[in-house]
Amino acid sequence: MMTRLRNKIAVIGVFALGCFITFVVLTVNDVLKNIVEDQIKEHTKLKLNSEALKNWKDPPVPVYMQFFLFHIENSEEILQGKQAIVKEVGPYTYKEHRHRSNVTLYDNATITSTMHKSFVFQRNMSVGDPRVDHITTVNIPFVAVLQSLKQSGMAQKMFLSILFSLKSSAMFQTHSVEEFLWGYEDPLLKLGHKLLPSVFPDSRFGLFYGANGTDDGVYLCSTGKKDYMDSNKIITWNGQKSLTWWASNTSNMINGTDGASFHPLIKKNEALYIFAPDICRSLHLIFEKDVHVKGISAYRFIVPKEMFAIDYLNKEGFCPAMNCQLSGVLNISICKQGVPIFISSPHFYGGDQKLVRDIGGMKPNMKTDRTFLDIEPMTGFPIRAAKRMQLNLHIEAVDYIAQTGRMRTMILPVIFLNEHAVIDDKSAVKLKWALQIMKIVLYIPYVILGAGILLLLISLSLAFVMCSCKKNKEYTPVILKVLNIKSH
Ligand SMILES: *[C@@H]1O[C@H](CO)[C@@H](O)[C@H](O)[C@H]1NC(C)=O
Ligand SMILES: *[C@@H]1O[C@H](CO)[C@@H](O)[C@H](O)[C@H]1NC(C)=O
Ligand SMILES: *[C@@H]1O[C@H](CO)[C@@H](O)[C@H](O)[C@H]1NC(C)=O
Ligand SMILES: CC(=O)N[C@H]1CO[C@H](CO)[C@@H](O)[C@@H]1O
């Protein structure tokens, strides 16, 4: 009887030891962690016929673009030198349909493609009908032409001023929201196009003119085959088209694809970089807090408040080219054919108070004005994002151009965008499952360790019981009954 018990104790002890050895092997060599990482790698790599490639071509996550326009309430007074007063009108919401085509995979772990976006109006998510609603705003083609003749002589300017009035081109103009966004024929551009087609390639103008259904050039990305950390990373991007200045690719920050160099295993103390062609370079984001989106835990990364601050821009090397002067705005005229465009956060959030004070009707708000990205840290999947940016025009009076009156020099807000996306329910469920499985897999060593400890305790108590049985043969301890070992 005692030998049988001793054998059982030995067997249990061996199992316990086995558990400890397995635990050590699994944890020291990170075996399971590597398996999980391999799985993530497999799923993020872009390769022929993979689901990753399919989702990359036609991202399943719905993206919405919202436009908020600044209607100028006192254009006559502005020309007399008064402060500008604006009224925010919006949102006008469009669903973005994204599709990549001309996809070619190369042997050197790169892929080229073009990204097409089309915008479909969503009446139920908008304040009104963009064909009906009209707004008054600064005449951008006019400002562009003014800018180009700043250095001209008095006679030329006076002549042009007369020409402008013949063409009834004024500093401020009223258009429907649809025209303003998607294009209208401008009399000045039409004339320019007739006379100098090389300088004026088009007679139409709109902030997003030509952006619907077209692509914004060829992206060359890494497939992640060599180093999965590079999956989807943009290597080059070209073909910034001339008149679609602001419109071109505002963001691709959702779902890790070419907007960003996202990679798995995101850390809170490391900045993320997002490719942002509209400001001619990449943006960096920093960790803010933990958030939950559709049951998935994520890290929120935000554009630092000082994003457009002078010290920051200086440090990042923007300043010499972009001529920084005020905190909170970035002069991007250098990448917009010299048109004096300045970008900022909506309502100059986080910028110099002077910017806000100069314009009547600006109310910065942290909640609605900040750009953020919620990202699942283990896989690096972006699960919610909002990109918010405001476009402003630097305007000033020009001598001998009657249309500019006695206007103050100012940075006048024109429009702000809120491009946002949240993971769709189907992908959220899929991702949640994958994360659960990964977590369970990563817990396996600890379960094994727990089992080892339990078995060790059992064998120790059996050994203890065995010793006491030797002393007292009359007594049958409960544990022996349980294990069905008879002491007689
Ligand atoms: C890979 O090959 C393509 C096509 O031959 C080429 O355009 C690209 O520059 C190459 N990429 C790298 C990173 O060498
Ligand atoms: C963009 O193009 C799509 C399809 O070609 C069309 O349905 C949509 O109305 C267009 N959007 C705008 C803003 O013109
Ligand atoms: C904006 O920058 C350009 C050069 O990139 C410069 O010529 C221009 O004067 C700047 N505008 C202002 C208002 O600072
Ligand atoms: C979160 C999400 O939508 N995930 C998809 C993003 O794209 C990758 C491929 O790059 C897919 O595998 C995911 O399902």
Domain match, 396 and 468 both: no
Ligand 1 centroid to residue 103 C-alpha, Å: 14
Q: Which residues contact 151 (CB under 8 A, 6 or more apart)?
A: none
Query: Is position 52 within any domain?
Result: no
Q: Domain of 379?
A: 61-423
- Asked if residue 246 has pLDDT above 90, the reply is no
Which ligand 2 atom is the nearest neighbour of the CA of 212?
A: 1
358 and 83 Cβ atoms separated by less than 8 Å: yes
What 3-state class would DSSP assign to 216?
A: strand
Helix 425-471 and helix 31-44, axial crossing angle in degrees, nearest 10: 170
DSSP state of 476: -
Q: How many residues are listed for the chain in this entry?
A: 488
Mutate to test the pocket of ligand 2, among 118, 131, 177, 244 (most ligand atoms within 8 A of CB): 118
Last residue of a domain, one of 423, 447, 469: 423
If you write DSSP's letter for every residue of 236-271 in order, what string do you get?
A: EE----SS-TTTTT----GGGSTTB---SS--TTS-
Domain match, 261 and 188 both: yes
If you write DSSP's letter for every residue of 21-72 in order, what string do you get?
A: HHHHHHHHTTHHHHHHHHHHHHHHS--TT-HHHHHHHS--S-EEEEEEEEEE
- Asked if residue 440 has pLDDT above 70, the reply is yes
Residue 130, classified by CB atoms within 10 Å of its CB into exposed (0-12), middle (13-18) or buried (19+), is: buried
Domain match, 130 and 71 both: yes
Query: Is position 487 within any domain?
Result: no
Mutate to test the pocket of ligand 3, among 327, 331, 411 (most ligand atoms within 8 A of CB): 331
Query: Is position 473 within any domain?
Result: yes
pLDDT confidence of residue 243: 23
Domain match, 318 and 442 both: no
Q: What mean pLDDT, rounded, does the chain reach?
A: 79
pLDDT confidence of residue 151: 80
DSSP state of 332: -
Domain match, 159 and 81 both: yes
Query: Is position 312 within any domain?
Result: yes
Ligand 2 centroid to residue 121 C-alpha, Å: 8
Query: Is position 431 within any domain?
Result: no
- Asked if residue 434 has pLDDT above 50, the reply is yes
Domain match, 306 and 206 both: yes
Ligand 4 centroid to residue 31 C-alpha, Å: 25
What 3-state class would DSSP assign to 434?
A: helix
Ligand 4 centroid to residue 49 C-alpha, Å: 14
Q: How confident is the model at residue 122 (pLDDT cuts 50, 70, 90)?
A: very high
Q: How confident is the model at residue 424 (pLDDT cuts 50, 70, 90)?
A: confident
User: Nearest 5°: phi and psi at 220?
Assistant: -110, 115
Nearest-ligand number for the alpha carbon of 220: 1
Query: Is position 44 within any domain?
Result: no
207-244, pLDDT tens digit by residue?
888 888 887 677 766 665 555 555 555 555 553 322 22
Q: How confident is the model at residue 380 (pLDDT cuts 50, 70, 90)?
A: confident
317 and 339 Cβ atoms separated by less than 8 Å: no
Domain match, 340 and 245 both: yes
139-154, pLDDT tens digit by residue?
998 898 888 887 888 8
Mutate to test the pocket of ligand 4, among 381, 426, 430 (most ligand atoms within 8 A of CB): 381
- Answer whether 148 contacts ligand 3 (Cβ < 6 A): no
Domain match, 386 and 468 both: no
Domain match, 7 and 79 both: no
Torsion sign (Cα): 221, 227, 231, 234: negative
Instruction: Provide the whole-model pTM.
Output: 0.78
Domain match, 319 and 357 both: yes
- Asked if residue 138 has pLDDT above 50, the reply is yes
54 and 48 Cβ atoms separated by less than 8 Å: no
Domain match, 12 and 106 both: no
Query: Is position 369 within any domain?
Result: yes
Domain total of the chain: 2
Percent of the chain with pLDDT over 70: 77
Comparing 256-260, 397-401, 443-447, the range with the smallest average pLDDT is 256-260
Q: Which residues contact 205 (CB under 8 A, 6 or more apart)?
A: 140, 141, 183, 184, 186, 189, 243
Q: Which residues contact 365 (CB under 8 A, 6 or more apart)?
A: 347, 349
Domain match, 154 and 10 both: no
Last residue of a domain, one of 373, 398, 423: 423
Task: Output b/e per residue, 453-480; b: 16+ Cβ within 10 A.
Answer: eebbebbeebeebbeebeeeeeeebeeb
- Closest listed residue to residue 355, CA positions, set 317, 386, 334, 327: 327
Q: What six digits make up the tokens of 356?
A: 């806000």
Query: Is position 50 within any domain?
Result: no
169-183, pLDDT tens digit by residue?
889 999 999 999 999
pLDDT confidence of residue 45: 65
Last residue of a domain, one of 378, 394, 423: 423
